[in-house]
Amino acid sequence: MSRISKGVDRTMDSIQELQSYIDKSERIVFFGGAGVSTESGIPDFRSVDGLYNQKYKYRPETMLSYSFFLSHPEDFYGFYHEKVMHLEAKPNPAHEKLAELEKAGKLTAVITQNIDGLHQAAGSENVLELHGSIWRNYCMKCGKRYEASFVAEAVGAPRCECGGLIRPDVVLYEEALDPRVLEQAERRLREADLLIVGGTSLVVYPAAGLVTLCKCPLILINKSETSQDRRASLLIKENIGAVFGQISV
């Protein structure tokens, strides 16, 4: 048997084992990162071809910081429009299968580090967005809400009719996570009977630290190594969309 054939057989065995875990569970929580959306055409940050390994005038971490947003709003939005807003992206099999699991009463929450809204687009309702969403925007002066399309179509930094700077409702570097969202995520994790972590290298804190709260079996689906590989009950190093596309509900 060739090395490729052996690899395919191992992957199929892993997917069958994942299916068994899902079939036996009733309070599944999914925790996901950028890798969940790469199969929808949205680039991640830390892979070889990710945003952090590309050359810009400023470091991506700097351009996505709160202080940079305030001091260089035009440069912030230039990067944000080109590299962060992907309004055309569509859900992939991972998003769709998670929505099916929720509708079947098996999945209690999706906890996501992504800001693209693709879980909701696929039909998931119990989504906890740790880092906010590109689809929500508001004026920093008067609080008026704006659609993502308004921000996307703006030339330079979008301004409110009152003159205030409009900002996306996303957590930028230097900002804390929403304590209300964190509290809900912690509660769901403690109640879970299965935790599936996918598409994240688990290096962004405090979000990544949340997975340690869960004492149930842990399934890890990620192409690269993570800090939690050793404690995983099942480790699958494949694209998450391809894996979930083979799961039945």
Contact (Cβ atoms closer than 8 angstroms) between residue 148 and residue 165: no
Q: Where are the beta strands (DSSP E) in the chain?
A: 28-32, 107-112, 127-129, 132-139, 145-146, 166-170, 194-198, 218-221, 234-236
Residues annotated as catalytic are 131
The tokens describing 36, both together, are 């969940």
**Contact assessment for residue 96 and residue 104, using Cβ atoms and an 8 Å cutoff:** no
SS3 assignment for 161-173: CCCCEEEEEECCE
Q: How far is 177 from 170, CA to CA, in rounded Å?
A: 9
Report the C-alpha gap between 177 and 210 in whole angstroms. 12
In 3D space, the residue among 152, 87, 148 whose CA is nearest the CA of residue 116 turns out to be: 87
